[in-house]
């Protein structure tokens, strides 16, 4: 599903703004046909934004059920004869959409786009009413999983991951005009031969069969560097300027569809970063050169707007990344807004792209999230239906992000149970699927401390080893010497697998402003000492090719918890993006060679 664009043949209109809004905890809206007319008893709600923290009190924060959104917009007069498409960049976690009372699409999965062709329901020049019921319930059959409990005090949502279950329309909504005969999809893969860049493409066209396709490749200055006819082909760029970490050089492939008479039917501009990614032994190679990941696991999380995408935070956060010397991040623990990947492409930032499979681990969730009553993988809990939802989430992730040069690695789960045969049986087909969908990138999953080397039955399926470890925090708390010994011992075992190791999480909760002469947990000094200890360990194990601190910034977690105070404080920046002492320490380390 291509991202909306304005081109000579396409137009898009953002539906951002204030929509009518009404919570529906009793789930009566569909029966009462709230989609049938103007939403009654509504208040206003910004789109894009998560609704939870916009409202005051527990009503929005702890809501379980549907949230109804409605807006009216005018379909531009000039769109007659075009396909009119309504597109949601996301709806968390499931949505049903009506246009003037007619249901047009349903979608499950909170972090990927979906769209509906509404051409037959609208008249260019007229107003149209769009109504969406967004459901935030997580079950064992959703990605991520959760349980809704019916209690004497109402319905309560339990979940097994460590970030707040923000919901709503957190990303853009678009009304688009797209030609009848159109570019439906583009897949670009790139290679480097000697000094030449090779751009292989496959274009899918929908509509009239009588057409021709041409792809014209331009460099960043707009100079044509090659062209090719046909729906699939290859363009060789002599002496190509490659996309590389720190150098977000982008070519643009103009895909043009013409009638046999030569009339332009559709045009779509696909950015292309020419680069290669390869895992060789314990090295992670980008353009043949060993790459060492520095940076963070992040969250889409800001005050008030929750997971609502915001360009100001996007640019500011990436400025902070640049300041600190980070060259990469992981989209922990779900696919982020597409604006983030576009920007990473342009900045030359490297992305580990993660599907929203987090919390599939009742052993881990037991102590923290009350998952002790459940078996992770079983017919009653995470089962074949869940795996199909997981597979679908992977399909939608790869379909959406496959053309981003910044994305170098797929992460198909964060910290699932991985030391059982059931886990192995669950994950094996998902690795196969991901490789079928995209043979051009390595695939991995993030291993949890409960499944150390030797016990983990899933790691051998991955091209890389990704480890989240908290020596000196959750274990050996406060004893960095013992932590260093234990951590090095474990890491040396992983190194015997002969794969690159990326430390995808290491971190210590730190309250900004708490200081201590001896490094005490929760103090800024401890966070610095903790990171330095980790770095000594990483630097002594050559197979370690990456260090991503948990987390870029403090973030919101579930409201009811005795082990989080006002959220997770492992941020190197506070939630409002002020640096802790650790930020300066990381900046020194990551700019050593500068």
CB of 526 to ligand GCB, least distance (A): 15
Cα gap 319→326, rounded to integer Å: 10
Residue 111 in contact with ligand GCB, rule: CB under 6 A: no
User: Shortest Cβ distance from residue 162 to ligand GCB (Å)?
Assistant: 4
Q: Provide, rounded to whole angstroms, the least separation between the CB of residue 443 and ligand GCB.
A: 18
| 547 sits near ligand GCB (criterion: CB under 6 A) | no
State yes or no: residue 414 binds ligand GCB (CB under 6 A).
yes
Contacts of 581 (CB under 8 A, 6+ apart): 524, 525, 527, 528
Taking each helix axis as running N to C, give the angle between helix 338-347 and helix 384-401, from 0 to 180 degrees, rounded to the nearest 10.
Answer: 40
Residue 415 touches ligand GCB, criterion: CB under 6 A: yes
Q: Is 415 one of the catalytic residues?
A: yes
Nearest to 331 by CA among 294, 292, 297, 291: 297
Closest distance to ligand GCB from the beta carbon of 477 (Å)? 13
Q: Where are the beta strands (DSSP E) in 118-211?
A: 127-135, 146-151, 154-159, 173-178, 182-193, 196-206
- Give the CB-nearest residue to ligand GCB: 162
Which DSSP string do the residues of 31-85 spell out, in sequence order? Answer: TTTGGGSSPTT-EEEEESS-STTTSSSHHHHT--SEEEEEEEEEPPGGGTTSEEE
568 binds ligand GCB (CB under 6 A): yes
Query: Does 411 participate in binding ligand GCB (rule CB under 6 A)?
Result: no
Q: How many other CB atoms are found less than 10 A from the CB of residue 28?
A: 11
At closest approach, how far in Å is the CB of 158 from ligand GCB?
16
In whole angstroms, the minimum distance from the beta carbon of 568 to ligand GCB comes to 5
DSSP string, 461-518: GSSSEEEE--BTTTBSTT-HHHHHHHHHHHHHHHHTT-S-EEEEE----B-TT---SS
Q: Binding pattern to ligand GCB, positions 470-509, x when CB under 6 A? A: -----------------------------------x----
Site string for ligand GCB, 302-341 (x = CB under 6 A): -------------------------------x--------
Q: Give the closest residue to 271 by CA, choosing from 344, 350, 337.
A: 344
Distance CA 47, CA 91 (A): 11
Footprint on residues 145-174 left by ligand GCB (CB under 6 A): 162
Indicate which residue of 256, 354, 415, 547 is catalytic: 415
- Beta bridge partners, 189, equal 200
CA angle 370–375–380, rounded 5-degree value: 110
SS3 11: strand
Q: Which is nearer to ligand GCB, 7 or 557 (CB)?
A: 557
Which position among 354, 505, 524, 547 bears the catalytic label?
505
Q: Which is nearer to ligand GCB, 228 or 459 (CB)?
A: 459
215 contacts 253 by C-beta, under 8 angstroms: yes
110 half-sphere exposure, CB direction, 13 A CA radius? 26
Decide whether 12 or 333 has the Cβ nearer to ligand GCB: 333
The 8-class DSSP code of residue 560 comes to S
Told to judge if 505 belongs to the known catalytic residues of this protein, a careful annotator would answer: yes
Helix (H/G/I), strand (E/B), else coil: 228: strand
Q: Which is nearer to ligand GCB, 435 or 564 (CB)?
A: 564
Q: Write down the least CB distance from residue 570 to ligand GCB, Å.
A: 5
| DSSP 8-state class, residue 578 | P
With CB under 6 A as the contact rule, the residue among 468, 476, 523, 548 that binds ligand GCB is 468
Q: Does 575 bind ligand GCB (CB under 6 A)?
A: no
User: Which residue's CB is nearer to ligand GCB, number 348 or number 416?
Assistant: 416
Which position has the token pair 């996007």? Answer: 314
Q: 179-218 mask for ligand GCB (x: CB under 6 A)?
A: ----------------------------------------
Summarize as ranges the residues that interact with ligand GCB (CB under 6 A). Answer: 162, 333, 414-415, 468, 505, 550, 568, 570
Q: Would you name the residues annotated as active-site residues?
A: 415, 505
């Amino acid at each position: 599903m291509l991202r909306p664009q304005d081109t000579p043949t396409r137009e898009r209109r953002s539906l951002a703004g204030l929509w009518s809004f009404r919570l529906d905890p009793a789930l009566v809206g569909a029966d009462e046909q709230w989609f049938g007319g103007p939403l009654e008893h509504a208040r206003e709600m910004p789109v894009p934004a998560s609704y939870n923290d916009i409202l005051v009190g527990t009503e929005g924060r702890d809501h379980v059920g549907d949230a109804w959104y409605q807006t009216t917009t005018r379909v531009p007069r000039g769109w007659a004869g075009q396909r009119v498409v309504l597109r949601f960049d996301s709806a968390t976690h499931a949505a049903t959409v009506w246009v003037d009372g007619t249901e047009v699409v349903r979608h499950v999965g909170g972090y990927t786009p979906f769209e509906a062709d509404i051409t037959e329901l609208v008249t260019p020049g007229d107003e149209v009413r769009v109504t969406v019921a967004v459901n935030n319930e997580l079950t064992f059959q959703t990605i991520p999983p959760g349980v809704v409990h019916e209690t004497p005090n109402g319905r309560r949502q339990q979940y097994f991951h460590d970030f707040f279950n923000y919901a709503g329309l957190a990303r853009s909504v678009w009304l688009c005009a797209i030609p009848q005969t159109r570019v439906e999809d583009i897949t670009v893969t790139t290679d480097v031969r000697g000094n030449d860049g090779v751009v292989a493409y496959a274009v899918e066209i929908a509509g009239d069969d009588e057409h021709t396709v041409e792809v014209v490749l331009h460099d960043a200055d707009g100079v044509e560097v090659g062209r090719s006819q046909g729906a699939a082909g290859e363009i060789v760029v002599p002496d190509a300027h490659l996309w590389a970490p720190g150098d977000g050089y982008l070519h643009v492939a103009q895909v043009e569809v013409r009638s046999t008479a030569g009339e332009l039917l559709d045009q779509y501009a696909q950015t292309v970063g020419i680069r290669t990614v390869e895992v060789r032994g314990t090295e992670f190679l980008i353009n043949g050169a060993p790459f060492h990941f520095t940076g963070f696991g992040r969250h889409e999380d800001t005050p008030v707007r929750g997971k609502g995408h915001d360009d100001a935070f996007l640019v500011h956060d990436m400025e902070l990344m640049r300041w600190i010397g980070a060259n990469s991040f992981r989209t922990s623990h779900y696919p982020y807004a597409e604006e983030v990947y576009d920007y990473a492409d342009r900045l030359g930032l490297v992305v580990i792209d993660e599907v929203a499979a987090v919390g599939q681990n009742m052993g881990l969730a037991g102590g923290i999230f009350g998952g002790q009553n459940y078996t992770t993988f079983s017919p009653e809990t995470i089962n074949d239906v869940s795996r199909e939802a997981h597979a679908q989430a992977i399909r939608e992730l790869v379909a959406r992000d496959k053309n981003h040069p910044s994305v170098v690695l797929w992460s198909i789960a964060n910290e699932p149970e991985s030391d059982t045969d059931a886990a192995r049986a669950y994950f094996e087909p998902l690795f196969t699927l991901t490789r079928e969908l995209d043979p051009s990138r390595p695939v991995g999953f993030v291993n949890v401390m409960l499944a150390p080397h030797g016990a983990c039955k899933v790691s051998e399926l991955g091209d890389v080893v990704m480890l989240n470890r908290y020596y000196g925090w959750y274990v050996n708390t406060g004893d960095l010497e013992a932590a260093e010994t234990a951590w090095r011992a474990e890491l040396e075992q992983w190194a015997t697998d002969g794969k690159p190791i990326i430390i995808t999480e290491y971190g210590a909760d730190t309250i900004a402003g708490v200081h201590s002469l001896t490094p005490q947990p929760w103090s800024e000094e401890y966070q610095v000492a903790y990171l330095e200890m980790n770095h000594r360990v990483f630097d002594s194990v050559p197979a370690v090719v990456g260090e991503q601190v948990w987390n870029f910034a403090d973030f919101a977690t579930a409201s009811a918890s005795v082990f989080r105070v006002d959220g997770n404080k492992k941020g190197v920046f506070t939630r409002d993006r002020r640096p802790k002492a650790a930020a300066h320490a990381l900046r020194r380390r990551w700019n050593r060679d500068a």
